[in-house]
């Protein structure tokens, strides 16, 4: 495992070979394939108050929606025809979410398609997670957001890093392929914070890792903060690729929300990233899933086309496959091999 000082040196841009080394590692494991995962953002309701996020409950300016399960299933059935091998069902922390209904939808999607199903529902009880896994969900995403306990507590009122880590451990123990990640450039975070974030993420034996820049949202307490640095986000993903050769790492949608975002995502795919995640959320509501400004600016069909074009611009090939992690959970990659 790299030391914190070594990681921090890479993050400052000291090593001109960082991106080419990360890209070589990515190709060694995944060849020229990049996987397209379609996100269905099925509810924008959230009871939490994360300071950075537009879905936070106190944001009264947001139009809230919940899609019907029929609509979720209909979109999932179209996904394979768009070249999408995985769907991600995502929502805010919505207490009205019916786990039995979601289980039924998962089972139907499994019956009707070959899609892998990823969930991103925030923190749920162990019993709920087990039922979702039994219904056929393959993967679960739960970002740590920041691994600095004080920053975590400050920016995520009423929540703690320790509780978040425990929730992630439960997800792993239940046999999901598990993903996590952090936000780059949260106000109060330093380069040392980010180096620590990457080391912590790399030590968790995760199958998916995500790092995206902070994008200030006008209707949140962080409205006047500066956005995260795009190039620093790219360096962070490249470091993660070196630390975790077999994990999947997306070129995040938040990168695309920065100026020159499309070019940044091409660069990301040439610096360790193996996944793009266009939103398949329907036109009537997709702009309302406003985690940050610039999210879902394109219609769904164009978002998928842009993902394919981005992959080709990077000289890589869009894969229609599920892109399962090469190591089934629990991830047995010895830490030494991840160094
Ligand atoms: N900028 C960038 N990413 C954000 N997220 C939430 N708010 C922002 C923001 N302002 C990310 C978090 C969360 C996911 C749903 O979106 O990582 O887990
Ligand atoms: Fe809710 Fe997630 Fe946004 Fe926090 S980051 S307010 S939990 S949707």
273 CA from centroid of ligand 1 (Å): 18
Question: Which atom from ligand 1 is nearest to the alpha carbon of 183?
Answer: 17
Determine whether the shortest distance from the Cβ of 225 to ligand 1 is under 6 A. Answer: no
pLDDT of 326: 72
**What does the buried/exposed string (b/e) look like for 89-115 if buried means 16 or more CB atoms within 10 Å of the residue's CB?**
bbbbbbeebebeebbebbebbbeebeb
Query: Which has the closest alpha carbon to 261: 298, 288, 299?
Result: 298
Q: Which ligand is nearest to the CA of 90?
A: 1
How do beta strands 177-184 and 275-276 pair?
Answer: unpaired
Ligand 1 center–CA 304 separation, angstroms: 21
Beta carbons of 250 and 120 less than 8 angstroms apart: no
Q: With a 6 A CB cut-off, is 46 part of the ligand 2 pocket? A: yes
- Greatest pairwise CA separation for the chain in angstroms: 51
Going by alpha carbons, the residue nearest to atom 4 of ligand 2 is: 50
Residue-wise pLDDT tens digits, 148-161? 999 999 999 999 99
The model's pTM? 0.96
| Nearest atom within ligand 1 for CA of residue 54 | 7
Cα 248 from Cα 34, distance rounded (Å): 10
Q: Is 92 in the pocket of ligand 2 (CB under 6 A)?
A: yes
Q: How far is the CA of 109 from the centre of ligand 2 (A)?
A: 26
| Residues in the chain, overall count | 339
Report the atom number in ligand 1 closest to the C-alpha of 182.
17
Q: Quote the ligand 2 centre to 94 CA distance (angstroms).
A: 10
Question: Which pLDDT score is estimated for 28?
Answer: 96
**Could you say which residues of the chain have pLDDT below 50?**
328-339
What is the Å distance from ligand 1's center to 105 Cα?
26
* pLDDT value of position 64: 98
- Number of neighbours of residue 315 by Cβ within 10 angstroms: 10
The stretches of 203-299 forming alpha helices (DSSP H) are 230-243, 253-256, 261-269, 283-286
Place of tokens 């993050």: 11
| pLDDT of res. 325 | 82
Q: Which atom of ligand 1 has the smallest separation from the CA of 292?
A: 10
Atom of ligand 1 nearest to the CA of 217: 10
Rounded (10°) CA dihedral 266, 78, 210, 263: 20
Centre of ligand 1 to C-alpha 28, Å, is: 30
Strands 116-120 and 177-184, by their bridges, are unpaired
Q: Is 254 in the pocket of ligand 1 (CB under 6 A)?
A: yes
On the 0-12 / 13-18 / 19+ scale of CB atoms within 10 A, 204 is: middle
55 lines ligand 2 (CB under 6 A): yes
Closest CA to 81 of 58, 113, 46: 113
């Amino acid at each position: 495992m790299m030391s914190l000082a070594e990681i921090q040196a890479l993050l400052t841009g000291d090593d001109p070979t960082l991106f080419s080394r990360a890209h070589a590692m990515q190709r060694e494991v995944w060849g020229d394939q990049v996987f397209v995962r379609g996100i269905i953002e099925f509810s924008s309701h959230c009871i939490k108050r994360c300071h950075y996020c537009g879905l936070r409950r106190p944001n009264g300016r947001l139009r809230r929606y919940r899609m019907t399960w029929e609509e979720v299933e209909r979109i999932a059935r179209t996904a394979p025809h768009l070249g999408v091998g995985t769907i991600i069902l995502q929502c805010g922390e919505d207490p009205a979410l019916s786990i039995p209904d979601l289980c039924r939808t998962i089972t139907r999607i499994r019956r009707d398609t070959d899609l892998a199903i990823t969930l991103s529902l925030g923190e749920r009880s162990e019993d709920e997670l087990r039922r979702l896994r039994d219904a056929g969900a393959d993967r679960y995403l739960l970002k740590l957001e920041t691994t600095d306990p004080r920053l975590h507590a400050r920016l995520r009122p009423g929540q703690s890093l320790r509780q978040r880590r425990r929730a992630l451990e439960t997800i792993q123990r239940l046999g999901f392929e598990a993903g996590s990640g952090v936000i780059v450039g949260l106000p109060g975070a330093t380069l040392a914070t980010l180096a620590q974030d990457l080391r912590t993420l790399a030590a968790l034996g995760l199958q998916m890792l995500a790092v995206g820049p902070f994008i200030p949202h006008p209707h949140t307490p962080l409205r006047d903060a500066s956005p995260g640095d795009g190039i620093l986000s790219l360096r962070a993903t490249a470091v993660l690729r070196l630390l975790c050769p077999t994990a999947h790492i997306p070129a995040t949608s938040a990168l695309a929300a920065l100026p020159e975002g499309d070019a940044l995502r091409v660069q990301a795919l040439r610096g360790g990233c193996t996944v793009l995640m266009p939103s398949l959320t329907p036109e009537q509501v997709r702009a309302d899933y406003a985690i940050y400004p610039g999210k879902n600016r394109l219609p769904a069909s164009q978002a998928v086309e842009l993902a394919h074009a981005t992959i080709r611009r990077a000289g890589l090939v869009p894969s229609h496959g599920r892109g399962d992690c090469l190591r089934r959970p629990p991830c047995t990659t010895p830490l030494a091999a991840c160094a």
